[in-house]
Amino acid sequence: MGDPAQTHEVAPAFGETLDDGTVVDELGAHVSVAGGVQHAPQRARDIHSLNVQVFTKQPSRWAEPELAPDRVEAFGRERTARELRVAGAHDSYLINLASPRGDLWERSLASFTAELERCAALELDFLVTHPGNATDGDTASGIERNAEGVTRALEAVQGPARVLLEITAGSGTSIGASLENLAAILGRIPEPQRGRVGICFDTCHAYSAGYDLVGDYEGVWAEFEDRLGLDRLGLFHLNDSQHPFDSRKDRHEHIGQGSLGDEPFRRIMTDARFTHVPKVLETPKGDDMVTLDRENLARLRGYRREG
Protein backbone atom coordinates (compact mmCIF):
# COMPACT_ATOMS: atom_id res chain seq x y z
CA MET A 1 0.00 0.00 0.00
CA GLY A 2 2.94 2.31 0.50
CA ASP A 3 4.01 4.76 3.15
CA PRO A 4 0.97 6.52 4.74
CA ALA A 5 2.97 9.73 5.04
CA GLN A 6 3.53 9.69 1.29
CA THR A 7 -0.21 9.18 0.77
CA HIS A 8 -0.92 12.32 2.79
CA GLU A 9 1.75 14.36 0.97
CA VAL A 10 -0.20 14.22 -2.28
CA ALA A 11 -3.38 15.51 -0.63
CA PRO A 12 -4.57 18.96 -1.72
CA ALA A 13 -3.98 22.01 0.43
CA PHE A 14 -6.62 23.08 2.96
CA GLY A 15 -9.06 25.50 1.30
CA GLU A 16 -8.08 24.54 -2.24
CA THR A 17 -10.86 24.26 -4.83
CA LEU A 18 -10.57 21.07 -6.86
CA ASP A 19 -11.52 20.56 -10.50
CA ASP A 20 -14.89 19.11 -9.51
CA GLY A 21 -15.70 22.17 -7.39
CA THR A 22 -15.01 20.52 -4.03
CA VAL A 23 -13.46 22.92 -1.53
CA VAL A 24 -10.93 21.00 0.53
CA ASP A 25 -11.94 21.24 4.17
CA GLU A 26 -12.10 19.11 7.29
CA LEU A 27 -15.65 17.82 6.70
CA GLY A 28 -16.68 14.29 5.86
CA ALA A 29 -19.25 11.60 6.62
CA HIS A 30 -19.66 7.99 7.57
CA VAL A 31 -20.13 6.09 4.31
CA SER A 32 -21.12 2.57 3.32
CA VAL A 33 -18.56 -0.11 2.50
CA ALA A 34 -21.05 -2.23 0.55
CA GLY A 35 -19.11 -4.25 -1.99
CA GLY A 36 -15.85 -3.74 -0.14
CA VAL A 37 -13.97 -1.09 1.82
CA GLN A 38 -12.15 -0.09 -1.37
CA HIS A 39 -15.31 1.70 -2.53
CA ALA A 40 -15.32 4.13 0.42
CA PRO A 41 -12.91 6.73 -1.07
CA GLN A 42 -15.07 7.23 -4.15
CA ARG A 43 -18.20 7.43 -2.00
CA ALA A 44 -16.51 10.16 0.00
CA ARG A 45 -15.85 12.10 -3.17
CA ASP A 46 -19.43 11.50 -4.35
CA ILE A 47 -20.64 13.55 -1.37
CA HIS A 48 -18.00 16.26 -1.97
CA SER A 49 -15.77 15.15 0.89
CA LEU A 50 -12.11 14.29 1.36
CA ASN A 51 -12.56 12.82 4.85
CA VAL A 52 -14.35 9.57 5.62
CA GLN A 53 -15.41 7.19 8.39
CA VAL A 54 -16.34 3.54 7.79
CA PHE A 55 -17.08 0.25 9.49
CA THR A 56 -14.45 -2.38 8.74
CA LYS A 57 -16.98 -5.15 9.50
CA GLN A 58 -20.71 -5.52 10.16
CA PRO A 59 -21.11 -3.56 13.41
CA SER A 60 -23.91 -5.69 14.88
CA ARG A 61 -22.17 -9.07 14.47
CA TRP A 62 -19.31 -10.70 16.37
CA ALA A 63 -17.77 -12.29 13.28
CA GLU A 64 -14.27 -10.91 12.68
CA PRO A 65 -13.53 -11.15 8.96
CA GLU A 66 -9.99 -10.81 7.71
CA LEU A 67 -9.51 -8.18 5.04
CA ALA A 68 -8.39 -9.72 1.77
CA PRO A 69 -4.97 -8.39 0.68
CA ASP A 70 -6.35 -7.28 -2.69
CA ARG A 71 -9.01 -5.16 -0.97
CA VAL A 72 -6.42 -3.62 1.35
CA GLU A 73 -4.27 -2.74 -1.65
CA ALA A 74 -7.28 -1.42 -3.58
CA PHE A 75 -8.30 0.79 -0.65
CA GLY A 76 -4.82 2.29 -0.49
CA ARG A 77 -4.80 2.90 -4.23
CA GLU A 78 -8.25 4.50 -4.15
CA ARG A 79 -7.42 6.63 -1.12
CA THR A 80 -4.43 8.05 -2.96
CA ALA A 81 -6.27 8.47 -6.25
CA ARG A 82 -9.23 10.25 -4.60
CA GLU A 83 -6.82 12.31 -2.47
CA LEU A 84 -8.50 11.58 0.84
CA ARG A 85 -6.99 13.57 3.70
CA VAL A 86 -8.39 11.65 6.70
CA ALA A 87 -9.86 8.13 6.87
CA GLY A 88 -10.95 6.25 9.97
CA ALA A 89 -13.30 3.66 11.37
CA HIS A 90 -15.96 3.20 14.04
CA ASP A 91 -15.82 -0.02 16.02
CA SER A 92 -18.55 -2.63 16.54
CA TYR A 93 -21.64 -1.73 18.57
CA LEU A 94 -21.34 -5.05 20.43
CA ILE A 95 -18.01 -4.26 22.06
CA ASN A 96 -18.31 -3.51 25.78
CA LEU A 97 -14.95 -3.01 27.45
CA ALA A 98 -16.70 -1.77 30.60
CA SER A 99 -18.64 -5.02 31.09
CA PRO A 100 -18.40 -6.73 34.52
CA ARG A 101 -19.01 -10.09 32.82
CA GLY A 102 -15.66 -11.76 32.25
CA ASP A 103 -16.76 -13.68 29.16
CA LEU A 104 -18.21 -10.58 27.46
CA TRP A 105 -15.19 -8.47 28.41
CA GLU A 106 -12.78 -11.00 26.91
CA ARG A 107 -14.87 -11.26 23.75
CA SER A 108 -15.00 -7.47 23.55
CA LEU A 109 -11.23 -7.21 23.97
CA ALA A 110 -10.66 -9.74 21.18
CA SER A 111 -13.07 -7.85 18.91
CA PHE A 112 -11.56 -4.46 19.70
CA THR A 113 -8.06 -5.80 19.06
CA ALA A 114 -9.26 -7.17 15.70
CA GLU A 115 -10.71 -3.73 14.90
CA LEU A 116 -7.29 -2.17 15.53
CA GLU A 117 -5.63 -4.83 13.38
CA ARG A 118 -7.89 -3.98 10.44
CA CYS A 119 -7.21 -0.28 10.98
CA ALA A 120 -3.49 -1.00 10.91
CA ALA A 121 -3.81 -3.03 7.70
CA LEU A 122 -5.71 -0.17 6.03
CA GLU A 123 -3.41 2.47 7.59
CA LEU A 124 -6.40 4.38 8.93
CA ASP A 125 -5.98 7.52 11.01
CA PHE A 126 -8.46 6.84 13.82
CA LEU A 127 -10.74 4.27 15.47
CA VAL A 128 -13.78 5.62 17.33
CA THR A 129 -15.03 3.54 20.25
CA HIS A 130 -17.86 3.85 22.78
CA PRO A 131 -16.57 3.43 26.36
CA GLY A 132 -19.26 0.82 27.08
CA ASN A 133 -21.75 -0.03 29.81
CA ALA A 134 -21.05 -0.85 33.45
CA THR A 135 -24.13 -3.06 33.72
CA ASP A 136 -23.51 -3.68 37.42
CA GLY A 137 -23.93 0.05 38.09
CA ASP A 138 -20.32 0.41 39.26
CA THR A 139 -19.05 3.27 37.08
CA ALA A 140 -15.60 3.40 38.67
CA SER A 141 -14.96 -0.28 37.97
CA GLY A 142 -16.33 0.14 34.43
CA ILE A 143 -13.82 2.93 33.83
CA GLU A 144 -11.00 0.69 35.11
CA ARG A 145 -12.09 -2.18 32.87
CA ASN A 146 -12.34 0.06 29.80
CA ALA A 147 -8.90 1.55 30.38
CA GLU A 148 -7.39 -1.91 30.79
CA GLY A 149 -9.01 -3.14 27.56
CA VAL A 150 -7.89 -0.16 25.50
CA THR A 151 -4.37 -0.46 26.94
CA ARG A 152 -4.06 -4.18 26.18
CA ALA A 153 -5.32 -3.74 22.62
CA LEU A 154 -2.91 -0.88 21.94
CA GLU A 155 -0.04 -2.89 23.38
CA ALA A 156 -0.93 -5.76 21.03
CA VAL A 157 -1.35 -3.72 17.82
CA GLN A 158 0.95 -1.08 16.39
CA GLY A 159 -0.29 1.28 13.69
CA PRO A 160 -1.18 4.88 12.87
CA ALA A 161 -4.79 4.76 14.10
CA ARG A 162 -5.48 6.89 17.16
CA VAL A 163 -8.15 5.42 19.45
CA LEU A 164 -10.84 8.05 20.04
CA LEU A 165 -13.11 7.64 23.06
CA GLU A 166 -16.55 8.92 22.06
CA ILE A 167 -18.65 10.90 24.52
CA THR A 168 -21.97 9.10 25.01
CA ALA A 169 -25.53 10.33 25.55
CA GLY A 170 -25.66 8.84 29.06
CA SER A 171 -28.53 6.39 28.75
CA GLY A 172 -28.78 3.47 31.14
CA THR A 173 -25.49 2.29 32.61
CA SER A 174 -23.24 3.73 29.92
CA ILE A 175 -19.97 5.33 30.94
CA GLY A 176 -18.32 8.14 29.02
CA ALA A 177 -21.25 10.58 29.15
CA SER A 178 -19.14 13.06 31.09
CA LEU A 179 -15.81 14.68 30.36
CA GLU A 180 -14.85 13.58 33.87
CA ASN A 181 -15.43 9.93 32.90
CA LEU A 182 -13.38 10.31 29.72
CA ALA A 183 -10.55 11.98 31.64
CA ALA A 184 -10.64 9.16 34.20
CA ILE A 185 -10.27 6.54 31.46
CA LEU A 186 -7.37 8.43 29.90
CA GLY A 187 -5.69 8.82 33.27
CA ARG A 188 -5.69 5.05 33.76
CA ILE A 189 -4.06 4.31 30.40
CA PRO A 190 -0.30 4.31 30.95
CA GLU A 191 2.20 6.02 28.72
CA PRO A 192 3.19 5.47 25.98
CA GLN A 193 -0.23 4.09 25.05
CA ARG A 194 -2.02 7.17 26.41
CA GLY A 195 -0.40 9.21 23.66
CA ARG A 196 -2.29 7.10 21.12
CA VAL A 197 -5.71 7.97 22.62
CA GLY A 198 -7.92 11.01 22.07
CA ILE A 199 -11.56 12.09 22.18
CA CYS A 200 -14.40 12.05 19.65
CA PHE A 201 -16.93 14.77 20.52
CA ASP A 202 -20.40 13.91 19.23
CA THR A 203 -22.60 17.01 19.37
CA CYS A 204 -25.85 15.05 19.72
CA HIS A 205 -24.46 12.87 22.50
CA ALA A 206 -22.89 15.76 24.39
CA TYR A 207 -26.07 17.86 24.28
CA SER A 208 -28.18 14.90 25.41
CA ALA A 209 -25.69 14.24 28.22
CA GLY A 210 -26.08 17.76 29.61
CA TYR A 211 -23.39 19.79 27.83
CA ASP A 212 -25.26 22.91 26.77
CA LEU A 213 -23.80 23.79 23.39
CA VAL A 214 -26.78 26.09 22.80
CA GLY A 215 -26.84 28.11 26.02
CA ASP A 216 -23.25 27.79 27.27
CA TYR A 217 -21.02 27.05 24.28
CA GLU A 218 -17.88 28.62 25.76
CA GLY A 219 -18.50 26.95 29.11
CA VAL A 220 -18.53 23.52 27.48
CA TRP A 221 -15.17 24.12 25.82
CA ALA A 222 -13.67 25.67 28.94
CA GLU A 223 -14.50 22.46 30.82
CA PHE A 224 -13.12 20.35 27.97
CA GLU A 225 -9.85 22.29 28.08
CA ASP A 226 -9.69 22.02 31.86
CA ARG A 227 -10.39 18.29 32.10
CA LEU A 228 -8.83 16.96 28.92
CA GLY A 229 -7.01 19.66 26.95
CA LEU A 230 -8.08 20.60 23.44
CA ASP A 231 -5.09 18.71 22.05
CA ARG A 232 -7.00 15.51 22.92
CA LEU A 233 -9.86 16.43 20.56
CA GLY A 234 -9.29 14.17 17.57
CA LEU A 235 -12.67 14.22 15.82
CA PHE A 236 -16.14 15.74 15.82
CA HIS A 237 -19.26 13.77 15.03
CA LEU A 238 -21.56 16.55 13.86
CA ASN A 239 -25.14 15.48 14.48
CA ASP A 240 -28.24 17.41 15.52
CA SER A 241 -30.56 15.72 18.03
CA GLN A 242 -34.17 14.58 17.84
CA HIS A 243 -34.43 14.86 21.65
CA PRO A 244 -34.19 17.87 23.98
CA PHE A 245 -31.24 19.02 26.07
CA ASP A 246 -30.15 16.64 28.85
CA SER A 247 -32.56 13.95 27.64
CA ARG A 248 -29.98 11.14 27.92
CA LYS A 249 -31.31 9.87 24.59
CA ASP A 250 -29.32 9.23 21.42
CA ARG A 251 -31.21 9.93 18.21
CA HIS A 252 -29.47 11.88 15.46
CA GLU A 253 -31.11 14.52 13.28
CA HIS A 254 -30.10 16.49 10.20
CA ILE A 255 -27.96 19.55 10.85
CA GLY A 256 -30.03 22.54 12.02
CA GLN A 257 -33.27 20.56 12.11
CA GLY A 258 -33.17 19.27 15.69
CA SER A 259 -32.99 20.59 19.23
CA LEU A 260 -29.49 22.05 18.79
CA GLY A 261 -30.55 24.18 15.81
CA ASP A 262 -28.16 26.18 13.68
CA GLU A 263 -26.14 28.19 16.17
CA PRO A 264 -23.88 25.55 17.80
CA PHE A 265 -22.86 24.24 14.38
CA ARG A 266 -22.26 27.77 13.09
CA ARG A 267 -20.01 28.43 16.08
CA ILE A 268 -18.07 25.18 15.66
CA MET A 269 -17.58 25.83 11.95
CA THR A 270 -16.27 29.35 12.58
CA ASP A 271 -14.24 28.56 15.73
CA ALA A 272 -10.54 28.91 14.90
CA ARG A 273 -9.67 26.35 17.60
CA PHE A 274 -11.42 23.64 15.59
CA THR A 275 -10.71 24.55 11.96
CA HIS A 276 -8.38 21.63 11.36
CA VAL A 277 -10.15 19.05 13.57
CA PRO A 278 -11.82 16.50 11.26
CA LYS A 279 -15.62 16.65 11.37
CA VAL A 280 -17.75 13.71 10.26
CA LEU A 281 -21.51 13.49 9.75
CA GLU A 282 -23.54 10.62 11.18
CA THR A 283 -26.89 12.15 10.24
CA PRO A 284 -29.82 10.02 8.96
CA LYS A 285 -29.20 8.58 5.50
CA GLY A 286 -32.76 7.93 4.29
CA ASP A 287 -33.22 6.43 0.85
CA ASP A 288 -30.77 8.81 -0.83
CA MET A 289 -27.66 9.01 1.30
CA VAL A 290 -25.63 10.90 -1.30
CA THR A 291 -28.12 13.76 -1.59
CA LEU A 292 -28.73 14.00 2.16
CA ASP A 293 -25.03 13.95 3.03
CA ARG A 294 -24.33 16.60 0.40
CA GLU A 295 -27.12 18.78 1.82
CA ASN A 296 -25.87 18.49 5.40
CA LEU A 297 -22.27 19.17 4.37
CA ALA A 298 -23.37 22.15 2.29
CA ARG A 299 -25.27 23.53 5.27
CA LEU A 300 -22.17 23.29 7.45
CA ARG A 301 -20.03 24.99 4.81
CA GLY A 302 -22.69 27.68 4.54
CA TYR A 303 -22.30 28.49 8.24
CA ARG A 304 -18.61 29.14 7.64
CA ARG A 305 -19.30 31.43 4.68
CA GLU A 306 -21.88 33.36 6.70
CA GLY A 307 -19.42 33.71 9.56
Q: What is the DSSP track for 15-73?
A: TPBPTTSPBP-SEEEE---TT-GGGHHHHHHHTT-SEEEE-SS-TT----PPPPHHHHH
* Residue-level pLDDT at 2: 38
pLDDT of residue 16: 74
> If we measure between CA atoms, which residue out of 135, 170, 123, 129 comes closest to residue 150?
129
pLDDT, averaged across the chain = 94
Q: What is the pLDDT along the chain (307 residues), one digit of tens a residue?
A: 333 333 333 456 667 777 777 777 999 999 999 999 999 999 999 999 999 999 999 999 999 999 999 999 999 999 999 999 999 999 999 999 999 999 999 999 999 999 999 999 999 999 999 999 999 999 999 999 999 999 999 999 999 999 999 999 999 999 999 999 999 999 999 999 999 999 999 999 999 999 999 999 999 999 999 999 999 999 999 999 999 999 999 999 999 999 999 999 999 999 999 999 999 999 999 888 899 999 999 999 999 988 6
Residue 273 is inside which H or E element, if any? none
> Global pTM?
0.94
CA–CA distance, 255 with 33 (Å, rounded to integer): 23
Delineate the domains of the chain, giving CATH numbers in brackets.
4-306 (3.20.20.150)
Antiparallel, parallel or unpaired: β 240-241 and 233-238: unpaired
Whether the link from the prior residue into 190 is cis, omega within 30° of 0, is no
What is the percent of the chain with per-residue pLDDT over 90, rounded to a whole number?
A: 89
Q: Give pLDDT, residue 213.
A: 98
Check if the beta carbon of residue 211 is closer than 8 Å to that of residue 221.
no
Query: For residues 303 and 272, is the Cβ–Cβ distance under 8 A?
Result: no
